[in-house]
Amino acid sequence: MEIGSIQSIANAIPKTKIVEKNGESQFDSLFKGVIEGTIKAQAESNTLTEQFIKGGDVQIHEVMIAGEKAKTSLQLLMEIRNKSMDMYKELTRIQI
């Protein structure tokens, strides 16, 4: 079995665009998507909770699931923020 050079392996890896056509980086669009998803999950949780309190046609398990989705989404957002801040601090420390 013949082992190829590192260059041939590197050429086999598909290249990804760092900047999209509209000028946003992939991280920006990903982060915005997570924020929008968190806001949507919290709004859905609030709506279902209000409907349940008012006696609407909503089951308690639906309210609990929506609440847990909103909670998990917020925790993910906070972890991404914390890791991003740690990365930024580490990069600034390296540059000094």
Asked whether the predicted pLDDT for residue 13 surpasses 60, the reply is no
DSSP-derived 3-state class of residue 14:
coil
Contact 66, 45 (CB under 8 A): yes
Instruction: Tell me the CA distances in angstroms from 12 to 1, 21, 25, 26, one per residue in order.
Output: 18, 24, 24, 22
**Stated pTM of the model:** 0.67
> pLDDT tens digit string along 31-89?
889 899 999 999 999 999 999 999 999 999 999 999 999 999 999 999 999 999 999 99
Average pLDDT (5-31) is 60
Question: What is the mean predicted confidence (pLDDT) over 19-38?
Answer: 79
